[in-house]
């Protein structure tokens, strides 16, 4: 085996990812080529350095007890930072959603149907006015307005998505 | 990590004392692994807490106690990877390391801090692959599955991560002092 081929497989050899024959060839070359052997031991040193550095990370005092307390208290006080801090409970989310949706039922009342049809007529007039107005606005302006509208739409969709994500599925199921 | 399968079986059956023993036994590995990934004490504590809460909830569903080691290791890795993905922990200063590196620390301790600092300086993609391979001992295929990337990408990222780490640990190409 040549040194170039050896370099190519050095990491795979270290990681135990070579098949039997390749592994034998590598071992053979490393035993007789000191420069490749040096490279190999450098890689080994990196691995040992990492393990040694992590094994010596100091443990915070009292961590076990804090974790056990939160595990046995039904894990309600899970102190998750930033993203999860404002997570609403399934109950709250449900009540909120029904509060938002309940008024929609009122739309079925005859009076609201009348109001709606009136609103429809007015919105047609409004729409026509808007159409005429839009003809008067310079194209660059309307383009800008359109883009701003798109951005706002995108943002609101993002927030709705975030809200849906925040609903705790596990709690809702139990 | 050492495992006590009798304790695991008891904890699985709902024995709280056994579960506490499990936490005691595995906390060092869990916390240190989390710290190596996120490099902030509070974030690592939260991750450790999350790991054990998940363990408590899902341990009763583990069928084979013998499967615990690899199952638990994956639980730890996924919690760490999720945290890394969620926040910009990679961009935040490592206050613990900075706070510890007073001039009077022994040379060995200083070397450890340098290695940890070097791991922290890697970007998220490289740090992930490096820790999964070098610290947690997954093979290429397992890492590819955990990260949802091809094996070829695992290899190339691992190679870059190692090169960068070597460079940071021996900036002028000096021979290794340790060993
Ligand atoms: Zn050679």
User: What is the arithmetic mean of pLDDT over B32-59?
Assistant: 95
Q: Do B155 and A12 touch (CB under 8 A)?
A: yes
Q: Which residues of B touch A48 (CB under 8 A)?
A: 179
pLDDT band for position B147 (cuts 50, 70, 90): very high
* pLDDT over 70 (residue A134): yes
Contact A38, B123 (CB under 8 A): no
- B150 CA to centre of ligand 1 in angstroms: 29
Burial of B35 per CB tally in 10 Å (0-12, 13-18, 19+): buried
The pLDDT assigned to B105 comes to 55
- What pLDDT digit, counting tens, does each position of A70-98 carry? 998 864 444 443 334 445 567 777 777 87
- What pLDDT digit, counting tens, does each position of B103-120 carry? 445 777 888 889 999 999
- What pLDDT digit, counting tens, does each position of A139-165 carry? 788 788 888 989 989 888 888 888 777
HSE value, Cβ hemisphere, 13 Å, CA-based, for B141: 3
User: What is the arithmetic mean of pLDDT over A37-63?
Assistant: 94
Supply the ipTM of this predicted assembly: 0.85
Complete domains list, chain B, with CATH: 5-87 (1.10.1740.10), 105-178 (1.10.10.10)
User: What is the arithmetic mean of pLDDT over B125-133?
Assistant: 97
The DSSP output letter for B42 is H
- A6 CA to centre of ligand 1 in angstroms: 6
Alpha carbon dihedral B78, B81, B87, B89, in 10-degree steps, equals 130
d(CA B62, CA B14): 12
């Amino acid at each position: 085996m040549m040194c170039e081929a050896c370099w190519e497989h050095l990491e795979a050899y270290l990681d135990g990812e070579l098949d039997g024959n390749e592994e034998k060839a590598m071992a053979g070359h490393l035993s007789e080529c000191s420069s490749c052997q040096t490279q190999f031991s450098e890689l080994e040193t990196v691995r040992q350095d990492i393990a040694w550095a992590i094994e010596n990370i100091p443990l915070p005092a009292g961590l076990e007890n804090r974790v056990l307390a939160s595990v046995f208290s039904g894990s309600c006080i899970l102190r998750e930072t930033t993203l999860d801090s404002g997570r609403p409970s399934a109950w709250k989310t449900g009540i909120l959603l029904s509060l938002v949706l309940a008024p929609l039922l009122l739309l079925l009342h005859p009076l609201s149907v009348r109001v709606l049809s009136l609103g429809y007529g007015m919105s047609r007039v409004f729409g026509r006015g808007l159409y005429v107005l839009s003809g008067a606005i310079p194209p660059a302006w309307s383009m800008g307005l359109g883009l701003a509208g798109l951005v706002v739409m995108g943002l609101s969709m993002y927030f709705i998505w975030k809200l849906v994500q925040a609903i705790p599925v596990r709690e809702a199921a139990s | 990590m050492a495992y006590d399968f009798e304790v695991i079986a008891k904890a699985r059956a709902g024995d709280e004392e056994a579960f506490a023993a499990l936490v005691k036994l595995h906390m060092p590995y869990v916390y240190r692994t989390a710290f190596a990934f996120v490099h902030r004490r509070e974030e690592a504590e939260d991750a450790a807490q999350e790991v054990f809460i998940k363990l408590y909830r899902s341990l009763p569903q583990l069928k084979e106690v013998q499967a615990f080691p690899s199952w638990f290791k994956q639980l730890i890795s996924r919690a760490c990877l999720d945290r890394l993905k969620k926040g910009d922990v990679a961009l935040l200063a490592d206050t613990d390391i900075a706070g510890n590196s007073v001039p009077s620390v022994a040379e060995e301790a200083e070397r450890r801090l340098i290695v940890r600092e070097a791991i922290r300086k890697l970007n998220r993609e490289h740090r992930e692959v490096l820790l999964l391979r070098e610290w947690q001992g997954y093979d290429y295929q397992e890492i590819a599955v955990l990260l949802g990337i091809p094996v070829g990408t695992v290899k190339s990222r691992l190679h870059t991560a190692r090169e960068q780490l070597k460079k940071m640990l021996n900036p002028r190409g000096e021979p290794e002092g340790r060993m």
